Structure 1
Amino acid sequence: MSLVLLIFLPIIAALFIPLLFKKVGQIHTGWFVLLVPAALFIYYSTLLPSIAEGGNRVSELQWIPSLDIAFIAYIDGLSLLFSLLITGIGALVVLYSIFYLDKYREQLHNFYVYLLMFMTAMLGVVQSDHLISLYLFWELTSISSFLLIGYWYTRDRSRFGALKSMIITVFGGLMMLGGFVLLGIMGNTYSIRELISQAPELVGHDFFVWALVLILLGAFTKSAQFPFYIWLPDAMEAPTPVSAYLHSATMVKAGLYLVARFTPIFAASGTWVWLVTGIGLFTMLWGSFFALKQKDLKGILAFSTVSQLGLIMSLLGVSAAGFHVENATEIALNYAGFAAIFHLINHAVFKGSLFMIAGIVDHETGTRDIRKLGGLMSLMPISFTVAMIGAFSMAGLPPFGGFLSKEMFLTGMVALTEFDLFSMDVWGILFPVIAWIGSVFTFIYSFYFVFHTFAGKHKPEELPKPAHEAPKGMLISPVFLAILAVVIFFIPNIVGEWLVKPAVAAIQPFMYDSPSDVHVHVAAWHGYITPELWMTIGIFAVGGLMFWTLRKWQHQYERFPNTLNSLYDKGMFLSDTGANRFSRLYMTGFIRSYLVYMFSFLIIIVLGTFVLNDAFAIDMNNLAPVGLYEIVIMLALLGSTVTILFSKSRLTAIIALGAVGYSVALFFVIFRAPDLALTQLVIETISVALFLLAFYHLPQISRKEERMRFRFGNAVIAVGVGVTMTLVALAAHSGKALPSISEFYKETVYTEAGGGNIVNVILVDYRGFDTLFEIGVLGIAGIGIITLIKLRLTKKEGQHENK
Structure 2
Amino acid sequence: MTVEFAIVLPFIMAALIPFIYRRLSNIHIGWLVLTIPLLLFVLLATYIPRISNGETISNTFEWIPSFQINFTTYLDGLSIIFGLLITGVGSLVMLYSIFYLSKNESLHHFYCYLLLFMGAMLGVVFSDNLMVLYAFWELTSVSSFLLIAFWHHRKASRAGARKAMFITVTGGVGMLIGFLMLYAMSGTFSIREIIANVDVLQQHPLFIPTMLLVLLGAFTKSAQFPFHIWLPDAMEAPTPVSAYLHSATMVKAGIYLVARTTPIFGGHEVWFWLVSGIGLVTLFWGSLNAVKQFDLKALLAYSTVSQLGLIMCLFGLGSASLHMGYSKESVLYTQATFAALFHLVNHSTFKGALFMMVGIIDHEVGTRDIRRLGGLMSLMPFTFTIAVIGSFSMAGLPPFNGFLSKEMFFTATLEITKLNIFSLESIGLVFPVVAWIASVFTFVYCTVIVLRTFFGKIQWERLEKPPHEAPFGMLISPFILVGLVIGIFIFPNSLGHYILRPAMASVYPSFPSADELTPHISFWHGVNTELLMTAGVVVVGLVLYRTLKKWRPMYRVIPEGLTLNVLYERVINFSETSSGQLTKRYMNGNLTYYFIYIYVFFVAVVAGYFLVSDSFSWDPSKDSSIQYYELVLVFIMIFASVAMLFAKTRISTVLLNGVLGYSVAFFFVIFRAPDLALTQLVVETVTTALFLISFKFLPALQSEKAPPSVKLSKGIVAVAVGATVTLVGLAVLNYEKFTAVSSYFEDSYNLAGGKNIVNTILGDFRAFDTMLEVVVLFIAGLGVYTLIKLKAKKGDVDVENK
* TM-score, with length taken from structure 2: 0.91
Aligned to 2:539: 541
**In 2, are the aligned partners of 1:86 and 1:123 still within 8 Å (CA)?**
yes
2:108 is the counterpart of 1:101 = no
Structure 1 pair 540–614 and aligned structure 2 pair: CA distance change class (3 A): same
What corresponds to 2:336 in structure 1?
336
Partners of 2:267 and 2:495 in 1: CA distance = 29
Cα distance change of structure 1 residues 691 and 397 upon mapping to structure 2, 3 Å threshold: closer
Seen in structure 2, the aligned counterparts of structure 1 residues 123 and 687 have a Cα distance that, compared at 3 Å, is closer
Q: Which residue pairs with 1:722 in the alignment?
A: 722
- 1:558 — aligned with what? 556
1:798 corresponds to = none
Give 2:73's aligned residue.
73
CA distance in 2, matches of 1:517, 1:238: 43
Q: Once the two structures are superposed, what CA deviation does each residue of 1:236-279 show, in whole Å capped at 9, x if it has no partner? A: 00110111111111111111111001001101211000100000
Which moved further from structure 2: 741-750 or 194-203? 741-750
Kept after mapping to 2: 8 A contact 1:77/1:506: yes
1:218 aligned partner: 217
Q: Which amino acid aligns with 1:346?
A: N
Give 1:801's aligned residue.
Answer: none
Moved more, 513-522 or 232-241: 513-522
Q: Secondary structure at the match of 1:716?
A: helix
1:310-349 matches, within 5 Å, as: 310-326=309-325, 327=327, 329=329, 332-349=332-349
Equivalent residue, structure 2, for 1:394? 394
> CA 1:383 to 1:645, structure 2 compared with 1: closer, same or farther past 3 Å?
same
Distance 1:587 1:75 in 2: 53
Residue in 1 that maps onto 2:528: 530
SS in 1 for 2:470: coil
SS at match of 1:38: helix
**1:582-597 superposed matches below 5 A:** 582-597=582-597
Structure 1 equivalent of residue 799 of structure 2: none
Matched residues in 1 for 2:650 and 2:657: separation? 10
Partner of 1:410: 410
Deviations 1:704-762 (A, max 9, x none): 7799996122212211111111212222223234665667788888999897x988998
> Offset at 1:118?
0.9
The residue that corresponds to 1:279 in the other structure is 278
Say which one has the larger Rg: 1
The farther-off stretch of 392-401 and 57-66 is 57-66
Letter in 1 for 2:554: Q
1:731/1:368 Cα in 2 relative to 1: closer, same or farther (>3 Å)?
same
SS in 2 for 1:115: helix
Which runs of no fewer than 5 residues in structure 2 stay unpaired? 791-802
Contact 1:390 1:482 in 2 (8 A): yes
Cα distance in 2 between the residues matched to 1:99 and 1:781 = 40
Cα pair distance change 1:782/1:16, threshold 3 Å: closer
Q: Which moved more, 1:156-165 or 1:597-606?
A: 597-606
For the Cα contact (< 8 Å) 2:504–2:518, is it kept in 1?
A: no
**C-alpha separation in 2, matches of 1:768 and 1:478:** 54
- Structure 1: tracts of 5 or more residues without a match: 792-803
Q: CA deviation at 1:635?
A: 2.9
Moved more, 716-725 or 433-442: 716-725
- C-alpha distance in 1, partners of 2:266/2:570? 38
Q: 1:561 to 1:472 in 2, by over 3 A?
A: farther
| 2:22 match: secondary structure | helix
**RMSD, aligned CA:** 3.2
1:355 aligns with 355
Q: Paired residue for 2:796?
A: none
Q: Deviations over 1:582-632 (max 9, x none)?
A: 221222223222211111111112223333433122232321123444334
- Structure 1 residues 643 and 283, CA gap change in structure 2 (3 angstroms): same
In structure 2, how many angstroms separate the alpha carbons of the residues matched to 1:324 and 1:780? 55
1:254 corresponding residue in structure 2: 253
Q: Distance in 2 between matches of 1:574 and 1:588?
A: 21
Given that 1:336 and 1:409 are in contact with CA atoms closer than 8 Å, whether structure 2 keeps it comes out as yes
Tell me: CA distance 1:626–1:96, structure 2 relative to 1, closer, same or farther (3 Å). Answer: same
Which residue in the other structure is 2:127 paired with? Answer: 128
Deviations 1:121-180 (A, max 9, x none): 111111111111111111111111111111111111111111110111111111111111
496-505 or 702-711: which moved more? 702-711
* Equivalent residue letter for 1:231: W
Counterpart amino acid of residue 239 in structure 2: T
Q: Counterparts of 1:228 and 1:790 in 2: how far apart (Å)?
A: 44
Instruction: Provide closer, same or farther for how the CA distance between residues 783 and 213 of structure 1 changes in structure 2, counting only shifts above 3 A.
Output: closer
Corresponding residue number in structure 2 for 1:795? none
Change (3 A) 1:442 1:665: closer
After superposition, the Cα gap between the structure-2 partners of 1:56 and 1:549, relative to the gap in structure 1 and judged at 3 Å, is same
Q: Please, which moves more after superposition, 403-412 or 66-75?
A: 66-75
Distance 1:682 1:26 in 2: 56
Cα distance change, pair 782–626 in 1 and its aligned pair in 2 (3 A): farther
Q: Which amino acid is 2:522 matched to?
A: A
2:793 matched residue in structure 1: none
Asked whether the equivalents of residues 752 and 764 of structure 2 are also in contact (C-alpha less than 8 Å), the reply is: no
Match of 1:646 in 2: 646
Instruction: Verify: 1:228 aligned to 2:220, yes or no.
Output: no
Indicate the residue corresponding to 1:509 in structure 2. Answer: 509
Query: Structure 2 matches for 1:70-469, cutoff 5 A?
Result: 70-103=70-103, 105-326=104-325, 327=327, 329=329, 332-469=332-469
Distance in 2 between residues matched to 1:378 and 1:429, nearest whole Å: 45
Give the secondary structure class of the aligned counterpart of 1:730. helix
In structure 2, the CA distance between the partners of 1:164 and 1:433, relative to structure 1 (3 Å rule), is: same
2: CA distance between counterparts of 1:778 and 1:172? 34
| TM-score normalised by structure 1 residue count | 0.91
TM-aligned CA distance change 1:783 to 1:514, over 3 Å: closer
What secondary structure is seen at the aligned counterpart in 1 of 2:622? coil
> Are the structure 2 counterparts of residues 701 and 666 from structure 1 closer, same or farther at C-alpha, using a change threshold of 3 Å?
closer
Counterpart residue identity of residue 427, structure 1? I
**Conserved? CA contact 1:149–1:239, under 8 Å:** yes
Find the counterpart in structure 2 of residue 799 from structure 1.
none
- Is residue 364–residue 468 contact of structure 1 (8 Å, CA) maintained in 2? yes
CA distance in 2, matches of 1:438, 1:774: 57
1:37 and 1:790 mapped to 2: Cα distance?
Answer: 38
Q: Say whether the 8 Å CA contact 2:497–2:518 is kept in structure 1.
A: no
How many pairs align?
787
- Contact 1:396–1:406 (CA<8 Å) still a contact in 2? yes
